[in-house]
Amino acid sequence: MTRPRLRMSRVSKSFAATRALAEVSLEAHGGEVLALIGENGAGKSTLMKILSGAVSPDGGEMELDGRPYAPGGPHAARAAGVAMIYQELNLAPDLTAVENVMLGQEQHRLGIVRRAEQRRRVREALLQLDRPDVPLDVPVGRFSVADQQLVEIARALVIDAKVIVFDEPTSSLTRHDVERLFQVIERLKRSGIAVIYISHFLEEIRRIADRYVVLRDGSAAGSGDLAGTGEAEIVSLMVGRQVSELFPTVPHTPGESILALDGLAGRDAPHDVTFELRRGEIFGVAGLVGSGRTELLRCLLALDPVRSGTVRVHGNIPRATPRARIRAGLGLVSEDRKTEGLAQRESIADNMTYSRLSPFARFGWLNLNRRRNAVLEWMRRLSIKGTGPEQLVEHLSGGNQQKVALARVLHQDADILLLDEPTRGIDVGTKSEVYRLMSALAAEGKAVIFVSSYFTELLAVCDRVAVMARGELREIRPAEQWTNEALLSCALGVDGPTP
Amino acid sequence: MNEVSPDSSFQLVRRGGGFVRSVVGPFAALLLVVGIFTIADNMQEDGGRFLTLRNAQNVLVQSATVGVAALGMTMIIISGGIDLSAGTAIALSATALAWFLREDFSPAVSVAAGLAVGCLAGCVNGLLISLLRIVPFIVTLGTMTIYLGLAKIIGDNTIVRPLPDQVPEWMQELLRPRVEQAWMVFAPGVWLLVALALVTAAVLRYSVFGRHVFAVGSNEATARLCGINVPLTRIAVFSISGLFVGLAGLYQFSRLTVGDPVSGTGKELPIIAAVVIGGGSLNGGRGSILGTLTGALIMQVISSGCTSLRLPNPIQEIIIGGIIIAAVTVDQFRQRRLAA
């Protein structure tokens, strides 16, 4: 085999007491696409941060084209030829394609930008990507997401990248744009660039990548050629155990109706959603990012404005404020723990009790001791690992943070739990605790709406699953009547086989 | 998850240290400043006037107006806001109070009017922020000028001077450094400030409302998610702060015994500085009453110390500016070490 363009050997990194990466090695060759697979929290992003110079490793070595590579920062990494295309694009929306591509590497003479030279280079890069149709002088804010992504890729070409990393590049693309992106990646590959491709979608990986490396709990769990490796094999490498014991359930049977939506519509999404939820039921909502599933939950809690339609809880229509909806028995666990779900710089006790301080209050004054005991009890029941109720949430691991968010809706004694991606970014052990908790709650007679883009967990945990796409609730079926593939093609809005 | 047991003891120590630091920290800075000036003062030939009861009485009285207004500002800053109009609103309240006295209303009515004007000014800030959804900085930048204009209208563009016999005796004694009853040691206005500080600190820590204020400032989205009425909390915070501003107006008036419409211009800056020196974060979610009061005292001690050393005014200003930046730098450094 030829010399790899990138070699990472025994790279390690710890954050405080948490080991994020333990001696991970990988090689990326020119002319191939290497898929980096792993669950959230497996260490993919830390590894890529080390590669891109954003984080420096505690141990290990890296080589780029045979030469030692130890970037001092993102800028040094780019200069050395490592380019990252993140899920969230890094463009200045008011600048044109040319300005964005050349940002930080402007061609100039005595401080005067050489516009013609810049345009020539950008046009060349776009030609190389077979997309000479992209306008050069329009602010990129007016581009589609796909074209913005192309501008990012062009930026990588202009710096003459040796390695390009794509981090979940398709999550906000339409199916047609995904096809075009794959063509672009094929071209990059043929020009001798080493491509590292990170994605949750095994189908996509199978389609575009040549080799794979699976990360699990910060270590390389396995690697090999994709041709001849079964999906089940990769999944078991990812989770590190048999899939069946990953989803512990408590038997539960749906009872009377508790929540009824009739034609619920938000500002942009959802459109006209109608369904009924029963006590003791776990109702799954499958959908890709941007399908309107988060907006559905937010409309239910009246966090987003409701345009039309009604929400009935126990047959009554609560007022459209978060407060009234919480009083009526709804509780939401946000998909975004950092910016919405939790006040990161406040204590566990505060975060757990914000939505219901009344049990500890008399005439508006709190009995902090009584609250502390209640919080300790929740910490024990959900086995939240922390130093105590006063600990700041930001010092907890992702899984424990998620448990604090869950404990809040439990303390609130919500009858209807709206869980938005509750297992995102938490370790496998905590995930199965969350699954067990969900079915235990259903067995107690509570109702759960479980939103996820990881369809396997929906099928394993839910009683019924609905698919959302483009803001519409497309189809509701009992979980056993769905397959992963059927969910995906419904979520992608196609009938035929998926890419 | 197996890192818990070794980590937890470490965390306890760290948290204990943090607690001690958060209480002693601002005090230590105050003691340091007092110590430096005492030494410097005693090295002068005719020194020895700095560390005296007399001077302590002066310093406390001089910092009381800023201190009272800074109680409210602490709440606002914890809730993630800021109030640039506090200075001109103090003058507006003082001017209104003076006008009512001059028009021969009873002192009680006049004081009530002054407090009401302050409260209303704060309430208007809160309403504008909540209803128009404009950031506090911009809203209060606007009302800062509006309140200045209103004060000038009340004062007919000049200073409102009630007659000496229209100003009751107690109002003049409120912040007189030398008290007649020796057992009080410090002026009644100082003791009122201490009492209000205790109440405010208790509200922030032990009341449902206080927890909501922290929640809104720490993460507004989380507060909404938890069903906290964010706009109402904001309006309440600004109204309560307005009440403190009204009281600061009374303090100001009791020292000047006139209502000067322009006397509050620029006053908001030492008020904000007191909160920031005391550990308040302009990002919201952090701040303490004890810290704020210490911050106000530190500034006044520096200014008094510089005077006793016969350092000119500009030097005082430069030192105070440096202290503000230093306080925040130290605080940030501490935060980073805690987070690491």
Write out the two tokens for A185: 């990646």
CATH of B6-42+53-339, one of 2.60.40, 1.10.287, 1.10.3470, 1.20.140: 1.10.3470
What count of residues does chain A have? Answer: 499
pLDDT at A487: 87
User: Would strands A273-278 and A257-266 be described as parallel, antiparallel, or unpaired?
Assistant: antiparallel
- A-B CB pairs within 8 A amount to 104
- The mean pLDDT of chain B is 89
Closest residue in B to A17 (Cα–Cα)? B3
Contact of A419 with A333, CB cutoff 8 Å: yes
Cα torsion angle, B263, B269, B270, B274, sign: positive
Q: Per-residue pLDDT for B17 more than 50?
A: no
What count of residues does chain B have? Answer: 340
How far off is chain A from B212, nearest CA to CA, in Å?
7
Q: Per-residue pLDDT for B18 more than 50?
A: no
CB spacing of B15 vs A391 below 8 angstroms: yes
Q: Per-residue pLDDT for B2 more than 80?
A: no
Higher pLDDT, A424 or B289: B289
How far off is chain A from B17, nearest CA to CA, in Å?
13
Q: Per-residue pLDDT for B10 more than 60?
A: no
Rounded Cα–Cα distance for residues A410 and A404 (Å): 10
**Position B7 confidence tier, pLDDT thresholds 50, 70, 90:** very low
* A303, A366, A397: residue with CB nearest B211: A366
Longest dimension (CA), chain A: 76
Rounded Cα–Cα distance for residues B249 and B89 (Å): 8
Rounded Cα–Cα distance for residues B27 and B278 (Å): 9
How far off is chain A from B220, nearest CA to CA, in Å?
8
Q: Per-residue pLDDT for B9 more than 90?
A: no
Which residues in chain A are closer than 8 Å to B130, comparing Cβ atoms? none
Distances A306 to A275, A392, B91, B233 between C-alpha atoms, Å: 16, 34, 45, 23
Provide the b/e sequence for A417-428 (b: ≥16 CB within 10 Å).
bbbbbbbbbbbb
Q: Per-residue pLDDT for B26 more than 80?
A: no
The Cβ of residue A407 has, within 10 Å, a number of other Cβ atoms equal to 23
**DSSP 3-state assignment of A97?**
helix
Report yes or no: B223 at the A interface, CB cutoff 8 Å.
Answer: yes
Closest to A488 in 3D by CA, of A474, A467, A471, A473:
A467
**Could you please report the per-residue DSSP string of B104-170?**
T--HHHHHHHHHHHHHHHHHHHHHHHHHH---HHHHHHHHHHHHHHHHHHHTTTS-B---GGGS-HH
For every one of its 499 residues, what pLDDT tens digit does chain A have, with 9 covering 90 and above? 578 999 999 999 887 667 788 899 999 999 999 999 887 667 888 899 999 998 889 999 999 999 999 998 888 998 899 999 887 778 888 999 999 999 888 888 888 888 888 999 999 999 988 888 889 999 998 888 888 989 999 999 988 899 999 988 887 777 788 888 999 999 999 999 999 999 877 778 888 999 999 998 888 988 999 888 877 788 778 877 655 567 888 889 999 999 999 999 998 889 999 999 999 999 999 988 778 999 999 999 999 999 999 999 999 999 999 999 999 999 999 998 888 999 999 999 999 999 999 999 999 999 999 999 999 999 999 988 888 999 999 888 788 999 999 999 999 999 999 999 998 777 667 888 899 999 999 999 999 999 998 888 899 999 999 999 888 998 999 999 998 888 888 887 654 443 3
- What ipTM, to 2 d.p.? 0.84
Which residues in chain A are closer than 8 Å to B8, comparing Cβ atoms? 386-387
Closest residue in A to B338 (Cα–Cα)? A395
Closest to B249 in 3D by CA, of B142, B143, B110, B146:
B110
Report yes or no: A301 at the B interface, CB cutoff 8 Å.
Answer: yes
Write out the two tokens for B70: 């800074």
Q: Per-residue pLDDT for B66 more than 90?
A: yes
Write out the two tokens for A287: 């959908």
pLDDT at A260: 96
CB neighbour list of residue A342: distance below 8 Å, 6 or more residues apart: A351, A393, A401, A404, A405, B219, B222
Contact of A200 with A167, CB cutoff 8 Å: no
Rounded Cα–Cα distance for residues A3 and A67 (Å): 11
Report yes or no: A399 at the B interface, CB cutoff 8 Å.
Answer: yes
Report yes or no: B106 at the A interface, CB cutoff 8 Å.
Answer: no
List pLDDT tens digits, range B119-169: 999 999 999 999 999 999 999 999 999 999 999 999 999 999 999 999 999
List pLDDT tens digits, range B98-118: 999 999 999 999 999 999 999
The Cβ of residue A277 has, within 10 Å, a number of other Cβ atoms equal to 19
Report yes or no: B3 at the A interface, CB cutoff 8 Å.
Answer: yes
Contact of A357 with A435, CB cutoff 8 Å: no
CB spacing of A346 vs B285 below 8 angstroms: yes
CB spacing of A346 vs B225 below 8 angstroms: no
Mutation target to probe the A interface, by most A beta carbons within 10 A, among B2, B5, B205, B211 is B211
Cβ within 8 Å of B, A 356-395:
357, 361, 364-366, 368, 385-388, 390-391, 394-395
pLDDT at A70: 92
Q: What are the residue boundaries of the structural domains of chain B, listed by start?
A: 6-42+53-339
pLDDT at A244: 53
Report DSSP state, residue A93.
Answer: T
Contact of A396 with A386, CB cutoff 8 Å: yes
Distances B72 to B69, B193, B196, B203, B245 between C-alpha atoms, Å: 6, 12, 10, 12, 7
What pTM value is reported for the model? 0.79
**Could you please report the per-residue DSSP string of B188-206?**
HHHHHHHHHHHHHHHHHHH
Beta bridge partners of B34: none
pLDDT at B15: 39
Q: How far is CA B140 from the centre of its chain?
A: 16
Which residues in chain B are closer than 8 Å to A385, comparing Cβ atoms? 1, 4
